[in-house]
Each structure stands twice: as structure tokens, then as C-alpha cells.
Structure 1
Amino acid sequence: MTQQFRTEELPDTDEIEQITRAAWHYYNDGLTQNQIAEILGVSRIKVSRLLEKGRQTGLIELRINSPYGGCLTLQQELADAFGLADARVVPAFDEAPVTPRIGRAAASFLVQKLEPNDLLAIGWGEATTSTLRYMAPVFPNSNISLVSLTGGVSAYIGNTGLYGPQNNAHLIPTPLRVSSPELAEMLRIEPYVRHVLDMAATARIALIGVGSVSNTATLVRYGYCTSAEVELFARRGAVGDVLGYFYDADGHILDLDLHRHVVAVRPDDMRRIPNVAAAAAGPQKIEAILGLLRGRLANILVTDETTARELLRRKG
């Protein structure tokens, strides 16, 4: 069967031979373009052009034999479907817990995106904790600072190795939820708390978890909400929470008394952060993630393959 080229400008016989030799040395032998240039007696720029022409004409076709291949397609589909700036999807693997795998993927993404002396704002939840554990070795050499988006973070960040006098961690020194709206407001205007809240809003990148509305939600397990409250919130239309604020299926923040007890950056202020990455996966999180994305509460998603497929199916 004759090779079908994809462009009108077909290489001649001599150029086909050069492209073939360049591709063989580059992809099979692992040689650099400089090394190939010496072998072929051409410039490095010429080698680069040969490889590019080989790809454009169809002489070179790359095949990635990896479970991540399909996930790369899903990433683009998620970004297109929900208007995301970026997405990361890890392959499905039922034999391993999902949270550590999502944490590792989120850590990998953040390490690629964060720059030296950057400020990373962090939210509440187990996905955040898992991510920070994987990132711990990176922080000492990068001078990246952490700033919390909510109170209560110090309760679980201590075992990540990132919170101590030697680290640049600026955490709100309060619980996530306090006993009265009056106390919450007093704490928000207390100088150090106000300073941290204002600092969080200036971050370039934020990492948040996505809470589900269930008796097993992290807020319930940490004692910030009761099962009865969560059931009431669900009856009022809640599908998930972010930073302790519950929202409906379209991502609208509900009018709940609980929100007046929360010490955290408000969702509208969080939206001003250019890159808000949400890390979440699992069947119990589908409704919560859908609402989060519909409400533009995050513009980056880190999830797994099964969750990604269900999100796309349910987008509607």
C-alpha cells in the first residue's frame, strides 16, 4: 500500500532518506540533534527541520504505548468541555487508593507550574494534604511560600513536613468554623488573620480540595459539620463545598448560616487568583466537581480517568 502523505509538499528521494536516517538516530538510538548533524554532515537546524518535515508529511508517526495516552485525550476534552485552563488525568487503577494518586499528580503539575519565590495558596482537605506531602522535598530549594485560604489548615498540614519555623508557611491561626458569626467577623479583621487572607488573594496559584455532601465528608470527620447539617444542606440544594462554602449544582454559593461562621477567603476573592487547581476524584465527588466547574470556582482540574469520563458524560 502506498504511503499517504499529509501535505502537498512531498520530500524527494534524497530528502526521504535523510529524514529516515535522522528519525532513526533520534528516536531509536536516542542521539541528540547535534550528534545526528555530525553523522549526516548537516547543521543542527537542518536536522530539526528534517524531523519536523517527517512529522508533517507522515513519514514519521509516533505511537505512545502508555495508559496515559488516553488520559491526554481526556485532558483536552475536559478543558474544552468546561473551559478549563488546564487539566491532569491519571489512569484508572482500582487496586490503589485514589487520594494519594491524585495528590501525586497534583504535586507533579504544581512543581511544573510554580516558579522560585512563588506563593502557593492552599485550601482545606485530604487531597491538599496528600499533594503537599509529595511536594515537601521541592520547597526547601525553591523558596516557595505557602499561604492558607482557610482556617484549620494547621490541624492537618503538620504531618507534611512543611510547617515549622524554618519554612515560609503563612497559615490562618483559627479553626475553619467558629462558634458565632460575631466571632468569625472579629477574627477576619484581626490584623494577622486579615494579613493572611489578603496575602492569599495575591497568590498566582491555588490548590483546593472539593468536598462532597455526605456523612463521610472531611468537614464531618473533622467535626466542623454534623451529619444532620449536611443532610439539611443537601435538601437546600448543596452538591459540594469549597473552603467551607457550600454550592449548588450550578456552582452558586448557597445562603447558609454556616458561611457566616467560616474563617476563609470568600469564593469571589478566590476567583481572582489566576490559577485555581482543584484536586478530586471518585464517584462520590462527581456532583461536587460538576458544580464546581459549572460555577467557575476552579479553572484547573486534577482527577482520574474514571471520574473524567463520567464528568464528560454528565456535562449536559
Structure 2
Amino acid sequence: MSQVSTPQDNGFLLDAEEVEQISRAAWYYYNDGLTQNQIADLVGVSRIKVSRLLEKGRQAGLIELRINSPHEGSLGLQEELVSAFGLTQARVVPQAEGLAAGPRIGRAAASLLTQGLCPNDLLAIGWGEAVSTTLRYMAPVFPQNNISLVSLTGGVSAYIGNTGLYGPQGFAHLIPTPLRVSSTELAEMLRLEPYVRNVLDMALTAKTALIGVGSVARSATLVRYGYCTGAEIELFTRRGAVGDVLGYFYDRDGQILDLDVHRHVVAVTPDDLRQIPSVIGAAAGPEKVEAILGLLRGRLANILVTDEPTARELLRRK
């Protein structure tokens, strides 16, 4: 079995299995707030074993104020995803029965962004519950590090107010329109309106973007916010849609479909989205697998944040 030195090179040699065990236990303990007894039940070891893993991780330098492993979460799955889909990075949250996926994905995406963003950076944000959850966890970080936000779509103000980010601070540049408008003519006029055009252009100067991955379920976020009807979603599905990004629906290969709804959308186009160096797609759950596969096949994101069951299914389907 191969051995690796720890990040701080304190003389510890840990095999790959130990590194993953420590990282998994640390995630459960520090990120999910589980007790050592609960972790022991989850991973099938004794509480003493969990305690020793955490202590060994601290002594070896894997654990500081955050999990200091080269990869958080399920290390092997992350590497497999990167290799299978040509990603630049992946973050996989370990499986945990009884814990909702949404907050855990949001915390993982927030952790990834916190480590990657630098003071004075610009972060482009898309649409969806995963994005708003991530922003909620990051609310204190942006003003502290002078990080600005710019929206990739209209309609962001529908949820961003719940994150504590939209206010007098002035670091959020939002497109002041709905995501979808009533006519192609109105959408074209709005895209040409100077303030809207400036925000769309500003988004393309960001080095990092965070996007949600929309499904074509009747419970999809676009339906809940009234931008699509259940009947429209069914029609798009029959025409080959498996998911959407920024309001644009794509097929299983990630190709954008020729749908009239796209001419009503006020958003950065998928082709322009690909110009941003780091595009993080955050999503998990069985209803999102087809959508994530299409997103990755179409190179609409090059970084993925998901959970362990979803990662395993993505690799199985690949």
C-alpha cells in the first residue's frame, strides 16, 4: 500500500486509506457537528477509533482550523471524477444518513470558494438553491475580504435577499430584471440596456463562477419561482432536455436545445459562461444525476461539488 506524507511534513507517513478515514471523520466532526459516537455508528468503528483518527489527523497536520487534507470529503471519488470528466477539481461530501444534502453541499462549496478566492476578487453567481445556500454560509466573508459579487442572470434578487448579501454594502452587482421575460423583444431590449449590459459584461471578467444545476423535475427551482410551468418542463423533456444552466436547457450531451424560451432569458449565454476560467457546479441528489452528467459532458462547468451517493452514480453512468 502506498504511503503519503502529511501536508505539514511532520514526519508522519500515512497510507491512502488512513488519509481518507481521517478526512471523513474530520468532516463529520467539524463540518457536520456530529459527536464521536455518531461518527462511530456511521463508519462502523468504535468511538475510541474515531478519537484516535482525529488526534492523529491533528498531530500529522491534516487537521488545523479547517480540514487541511489535499482534498476534503471522499478523496478517491474526487480523483475519479476529475479523471473521468476532465475536471480541474472536485469536492465530494461524505455520505451521511439522515442529514439533508442541501446544507452540506452549500458548506462544501463555501469551503472551496473560501480557499480559492483572494481579497478583491469578483465572484460570478448563477441561479438556484445551491447557490443561495452557499452564499448564506459565505455572507461574512465577502465584506471582510472585499470580494464583490456579480450575477450571471436576472432574477437573482428573488433569493439573494435571504442570504444577508443584498443591502447597502454595495458589493453585489445584480441584473435588475427577471430571469425570464414575456417576449423576445423585451428580452433583447433589456440585454441592450446599458446597466444590464454592463453587469453581463462584468460577469465575464470574473475568474470564478458558482452555478446551480437545474433539473427537469416538476419541483425544479424554475417552476417554484414561476419562471416555467410544469407543462413546459414536460415539453422540454420530450424534446430532450435533461437539465438547465442559467435558464438554458441542454440535452444529455450538454448541447443547448433550440427552444423559444431561451430567447426570453436575460442571462449570460452558455458559450460566454465557458470563458470564465473556473466554473463551479454545485448539485446533488438522484433527481440531479442526468442534469449533472449533461453539464459535465457539455463542459459547462469544470469544477463539481456534490455528495458521495451522487458521485458514485455519476461514475457508474459514465
TM-score, normalised by the number of residues in structure 1: 0.81
Name the counterpart of 2:123.
Answer: 120
Name the counterpart of 2:252.
Answer: 249
Distance 2:265 2:134 in 1: 24
Q: Which has the larger radius of gyration?
A: 1
Name the counterpart of 1:104.
Answer: 107
Distance 2:191 2:2 in 1: 64
**Deviation (angstroms), 1:94:** 2.7
Please give the secondary structure, in 1, of the residue aligned with 2:209.
strand
Name the counterpart of 2:235.
Answer: 232
**Deviation (angstroms), 1:159:** 1.1
Query: In the TM superposition, what whole-angstrom CA distance separates every residue of 1:209-265 from its partner, at most 9, and x where no partner exists?
Result: 000001000000100000110000000000000000000000000000000000000
> How many aligned residue pairs are there?
267
Moved more, 262-271 or 92-101: 92-101
Query: In the TM superposition, what whole-angstrom CA distance separates every residue of 1:42-83 from its partner, at most 9, and x where no partner exists?
Result: xxxxxx6x93xx85xxxx657233436871110000000000
Aligned amino acid, residue 241 of structure 2: A
Distance 2:246 2:119 in 1: 26
Moved more, 282-291 or 60-69: 60-69
The match for 1:223 among 218, 222, 226 is: 226
1:297-312 correspondence runs (5 A): 297-312=300-315
TM-score, normalised by the number of residues in structure 2: 0.80
Name the counterpart of 2:317.
Answer: 314
The match for 1:91 among 90, 94, 100 is: 94
Distance 2:109 2:246 in 1: 18
1:262-277 correspondence runs (5 A): 262-277=265-280
Aligned amino acid, residue 145 of structure 1: S
Residues 165 and 293 (structure 1), Cα distance of their counterparts in 2 relative to 1, 3 Å cut = same
Aligned amino acid, residue 194 of structure 1: R
CA contact (8 A) 2:243 2:249 kept: yes
Name the counterpart of 1:10.
Answer: none
Residues 116 and 70 (structure 1), Cα distance of their counterparts in 2 relative to 1, 3 Å cut = closer
The match for 1:181 among 181, 184, 187 is: 184
Residues 174 and 275 (structure 1), Cα distance of their counterparts in 2 relative to 1, 3 Å cut = same
Matched, 1:141 2:148: no
CA contact (8 A) 2:213 2:292 kept: yes
| Structure 1 ranges of 4+ moved more than 4 A | none
Please give the secondary structure, in 1, of the residue aligned with 2:257.
coil
Distance 1:189 1:158 in 2: 26
Distance 2:315 2:263 in 1: 34
Distance 2:2 2:108 in 1: 37
Distance 2:275 2:140 in 1: 29
Distance 1:270 1:230 in 2: 23
Distance 1:5 1:300 in 2: 27
Question: Which runs of 5 or more structure 2 residues have no equivalent in the other structure?
Answer: 28-71
Name the counterpart of 2:204.
Answer: 201
Moved more, 63-72 or 265-274: 63-72
CA contact (8 A) 2:152 2:203 kept: yes
Matched, 1:283 2:290: no
Question: Which runs of 5 or more structure 1 residues have no equivalent in the other structure?
Answer: 7-22, 28-32, 34-47
CA contact (8 A) 2:274 2:301 kept: yes
Query: In the TM superposition, what whole-angstrom CA distance separates every residue of 1:66-112 from its partner, at most 9, and x where no partner exists?
Result: 43687111000000000000000001123121111100000000000
Identity %: 74
Please give the secondary structure, in 2, of the residue aligned with 1:102.
helix
Please give the secondary structure, in 1, of the residue aligned with 2:152.
strand
Query: In the TM superposition, what whole-angstrom CA distance separates every residue of 1:143-194 from its partner, at most 9, and x where no partner exists?
Result: 0000000000011000111111213000000000000000000000000000
CA contact (8 A) 2:223 2:230 kept: yes
CA RMSD between the two structures: 2.0
Aligned amino acid, residue 75 of structure 1: Q
Aligned amino acid, residue 293 of structure 1: L
Distance 1:297 1:203 in 2: 16
